[in-house]
Amino acid sequence: MSAYKELRKEELLALKSDLEAQYEKVKAKGLKLDMSRGKPSAAQLDLSMEMMDILNSSSELKSEEGVDCRNYGILDGIKEAKELLGAMIEVPAENIIIYGNSSLNVMYDTISRSMHHGVMGSTPWCKLDKVKFLCPVPGYDRHFAITEYFGIEMINVPMTPEGPDMDMVEKLVSEDEAIKGIWCVPKYSNPQGITYSDECVRRFARLKPAAKDFRIYWDNAYGVHHLYDDDQDYLIEILAECEKAGNPDMVYKFCSTSKISFPGSGVAAIAASKANLDGIRKQLTIQTIGHDKVNQLRHVRYYKDMNGIVEHMKKHAAILRPKFEAVLDILERELGGLEIGSWIKPKGGYFISFDSMDGCAKEIIAKCKEAGVIMTAAGATYPYHKDPHDSNIRIAPSFPTPEELTQATELFVLCVKLVSVNKLLENK
């Protein structure tokens, strides 16, 4: 079929009638499907069940350094856990602090500490007139929720195929001392699946911010989450680049095993320069006597080393790959050439980013919900839930069964067609 915008009004009206009849048929099925969040499926969680048998009541629960993991102590994590997560995110073990199960928790704590106590001796943000953050868009809704919660003003920075618009980033941070940070998901970004280019990472490392306490919040959530063994994105390591550029303290790097082992009981970490980590440890001595070392030990003994993680993630990919390909096949088959939507084919991560015609995303999501499919709210990928184009929709293929995913995606493309036809008729 030719592009919808080339159809005459009579053709659009006939098409609308046909699409509405199809929609009513689907609605009558009484679907109840949820594609709203990027949760691992039960099949993925099953991959890690043997981890539950790694430790039992007769296990030796001392770390390599002889620490009894059942007891208090070791504020920043056992040595072998630092080595495992350090290998995963390509930083030395001495540059890591191990936390609890959630990297989002670590990011929240990092913002909170900066608000109330400042960054490495700088003025606490709560004592400043204005604090601002740069937000690459579309981006991760939970990042934006943290900065919004603390009353930090968020500034949209458009994403490009290479990463955030670095001309804009460089200009803004160099001119405005109130800009204290930028959120980044640098590999298989949420939601577009974009990996920052080498030049983009190096430009980040060479930033000359007006604020001495400016930090890059580098959320390496999908660093090992490839979909293909033989076609993977590569991301150069930001801490090393910052060191080379003479900005060793400018980045916080976050990671976790949440979508590797169990999302509710994984292991999270922050990596940064020694000076940054020393400041963080001072606060941690007040906040905790140490995180769950038994869980750290469990992860280390299960995966053993980086090779263990790589092999484990191949099993995840074998489950996720056909789901992503099924969604992409339906999008191409049903919407290809119609010029009413565009999407990116990611090589990893957890999402497919879809852009509808301007002014259509909210209505598409509403139509899906009316017919029984819940999707991420339109606008969620922008600060304050305000997508200036009302066009971006995040598709999360991981959680539904393959059959549910096909049903949900077929309904989604039907809603895209119907809403797009109505939008075009409005403009005729």
Average pLDDT, the chain: 97
Model pLDDT, residue 37? 84
Q: Closest by alpha carbon to 35, among 417, 404, 361, 422?
A: 404
Query: In terms of DSSP H, where are the helices of 57-120?
Result: 79-89, 103-117
Please state the rounded mean pLDDT for residues 99-116: 97
DSSP code, position 123: P
Q: In this structure, is the dihedral angle defined by the CA atoms of residues 15, 16, 17 and 21, taken in order, positive or negative?
A: positive
User: What are φ and ψ of residue 303, in 5° steps?
Assistant: -85, -30
pLDDT tens for 130-186 read 999 999 999 999 999 999 999 999 999 999 999 999 999 999 999 999 999 999 999
Model pLDDT, residue 329? 98
Spell out the CATH class of 4-44+310-426.
Answer: alpha beta
pLDDT at 275 over 90: yes
Q: Closest by alpha carbon to 218, among 110, 310, 299, 123?
A: 110
* Beta bridge mates, 157: 136
Q: In angstroms, rounded to a whole number, what is the distance separating the alpha carbons of residues 228 and 386?
A: 34
pLDDT at 2 over 90: no
Query: For the chain, where do the domains classified as CATH 3.90.1150.10 start and end?
Result: 4-44+310-426
Model pLDDT, residue 14? 97
Measured from the Cβ of residue 151, the count of other Cβ atoms closer than 10 Å reads 11
In this prediction, what percent of the chain has a pLDDT beyond 70?
100
Spatial neighbors of 402 by CB under 8 A, at least 6 apart, are 322, 323, 326
Query: For the chain, where do the domains classified as CATH 3.40.640.10 start and end?
Result: 62-304
Model pLDDT, residue 155? 98
Per CATH, the number for 62-304 is 3.40.640.10
DSSP output for 280-345: HHHHHHHH-S---HHHHHHHHHHH-SHHHHHHHHHHHHHHHHHHHHHHHHHHHHHHTTSSSEEE--
Two structure tokens written together for 172: 């803004």
Please state the rounded mean pLDDT for residues 28-47: 93
Please state the rounded mean pLDDT for residues 363-371: 98
Model pLDDT, residue 427? 86
Asked whether 134 and 155 are in contact (CB, 8 A), the reply is yes
pLDDT tens for 370-428 read 999 999 999 999 999 999 999 999 999 999 999 999 999 999 999 999 999 999 999 87
Spatial neighbors of 415 by CB under 8 A, at least 6 apart, are 23, 364, 367, 368, 371
Q: In angstroms, rounded to a whole number, what is the distance separating the alpha carbons of residues 46 and 41?
A: 9
Asked whether 340 and 2 are in contact (CB, 8 A), the reply is no
Model pLDDT, residue 428? 77
